[in-house]
Structure 1
Amino acid sequence: MGAVKSKRVPRAVREQQMLDAAVLTFARRGYRAASMDEIAELAGVSKPLVYLYLNSKEDLFSTVIRRESEALMAAVSAAVEPGESADRQLWGGLRGFFAYTAEHPGGWAVLHQQARTQGEPFAHEVAAVRGEIVEFVTELLGAAAKEAGCVGELAEREVAGLAHALVGAAESLAEWANCRTDEGASGEWARLSAKDAAATMMNVVWAGLGRMMGGERWVPGELVGHESRSGTRG
């Protein structure tokens, strides 16, 4: 009786195994220090096979960025319920974002820490994804502003600025939250859940947005007297 041949792993499956190993290695070592030898060993394949499937280290890193970016966008989009109010859609998107970054810390580290600091073309690819998220948030905040009757150049500028600020704050909070560990009764910070992180952002942004839509504006103290004299305070 002849020897039983081992089942051949399909190329698509093997490639994903290599990409999974690359994500972990890039997140742990950084792009510069990561080696193709370590990636191959972690994936359980030979280094020549990694080069055969994914070409150079630069191409491999680009492929990882695209895969993780697409997965992040898919997670955010899937969490948003079409037809819901603007606040419910934003709430869903934030929960999707924080859930993904918590469940895929390696991928998030590659996108937020590694790719953005390695120059072109990596930074450009990440910036493009970030731009999509900012555009999505801008549309939601713009819809809320329109519903509240807050229109005009000032409203559009504030909505755009708030969208950029929200995305930046969410990125920072995701990085901070993913660095927390559960420390029991020690009194140290525990890891934030995706729901907690999303609620934090909604409380900061939506509460402030609601007051802004109602016509309230914060004015620096040194300008209050000037605006009162000129009759432009509002």
Structure 2
Amino acid sequence: MLDAAVATFARRGYRAASMDEIAELAGVSKPLVYLYLNSKEELFTACIRREAAALTEAVMAGVEPGSAPDRQLWCGLRAFFTHTTERPDGWTVLYQQARTQGEPFADEVAKMRAEIAEFVRELIAAAAREADCDGELAEREVTALAHALVGAAESLAGWGCEQPGQSGKDTAATLMNFAWAGLDNLMNGRRWEPPRP
């Protein structure tokens, strides 16, 4: 039933999707859908929670604890983009539908985003410690970098899902090349500075 609901919400949008259509696609009766979930709002929330949990779990499971920082970031990005590429309807529900429907749906996505951003912040902070640049990379800057990376990944996932033949690995490599060049320079004391007038 949730698979049918995710597919319908992704294709039609929350407002246009009907419980009749979801029940028909799931091969069940409409009263059975209402038996499990009392309303379209509850069904949409269940879809968001399932897709958010699956994405978060994929990213965290993809990282190899104890490996080099660049390897951890690469594995996390690859897991993220592989998941969004393989489950484009789930990504559409999270990124395009839930975020635009207001509360409480946007709040569910915000929780997922905060959890992933915190996970990425921990990875960047660990990489900074390993590079002996704790003092140089202040906590606020590490947090900002994590949010920037998560935002870039979200945007690139939306683009990647729309590109025929674009693999999650290819999309991950694109962001890794962009992000790691900057992070590696930053952690090795090669900071970009604005030009002086």
Per the normalisation by structure 2, the TM-score is 0.95
Q: Distance in 2 between matches of 1:36 and 1:195?
A: 36
**Aligned-residue CA RMSD (Å):** 1.3
| One-letter amino acid of the structure 2 residue matched with residue 204 of structure 1 | F
Does 1:197 find its partner at 2:171? yes
Q: Distance in 2 between matches of 1:62 and 1:171?
A: 20
Does 1:177 find its partner at 2:151? no
In structure 1, which of residues 199, 215, 225 is the aligned counterpart of residue 189 of structure 2? 215
How many residue pairs match? The answer is 197
| One-letter amino acid of the structure 2 residue matched with residue 42 of structure 1 | L
2:94 is matched with which residue?
111
Q: Distance in 2 between matches of 1:138 and 1:45?
A: 43
In structure 1, which of residues 46, 63, 82 is the aligned counterpart of residue 46 of structure 2? 63
Q: Distance in 2 between matches of 1:214 and 1:100?
A: 32
Does 1:43 find its partner at 2:26? yes
Q: Residues 10 and 93 of structure 2 are in contact (CA less than 8 Å); yes or no, is this contact kept in structure 1?
A: yes
1:158-201: per-residue Cα shift (whole Å, max 9, x none)?
221111111111111111011012xxxxxxxxx32111111111
In structure 2, which of residues 120, 145, 156 is the aligned counterpart of residue 162 of structure 1? 145
Deviation at 1:153, TM superposition (A): 7.1
Deviation at 1:205, TM superposition (A): 1.0
1:139 is matched with which residue?
122
Unaligned runs of 5+ in 1: 1-17, 182-190, 226-234
Q: Distance in 1 between matches of 2:75 and 2:36?
A: 37
Q: Residues 145 and 155 of structure 1 are in contact (CA less than 8 Å); yes or no, is this contact kept in structure 2?
A: no
1:66-120: per-residue Cα shift (whole Å, max 9, x none)?
1111111121122111221222111111111101101111001000010011111
Secondary structure at the residue paired with 2:132? Answer: coil
| One-letter amino acid of the structure 1 residue matched with residue 88 of structure 2 | P
Q: Give the stretch that moved more between structures: 125-134 or 204-213.
A: 204-213
Q: Distance in 1 between matches of 2:100 and 2:24?
A: 26
Secondary structure at the residue paired with 1:32? Answer: coil
Deviation at 1:220, TM superposition (A): 2.2
Q: Distance in 1 between matches of 2:170 and 2:160?
A: 10
1:184 is matched with which residue?
none
Q: Distance in 2 between matches of 1:43 and 1:148?
A: 52
| One-letter amino acid of the structure 2 residue matched with residue 46 of structure 1 | S
Q: Distance in 2 between matches of 1:21 and 1:88?
A: 36
Q: Give the stretch that moved more between structures: 149-158 or 91-100.
A: 149-158
Deviation at 1:58, TM superposition (A): 0.5
Percent identity, aligned pairs only? 71
Q: Distance in 2 between matches of 1:128 and 1:115?
A: 12
Unaligned runs of 5+ in 2: none
1:92 is matched with which residue?
75
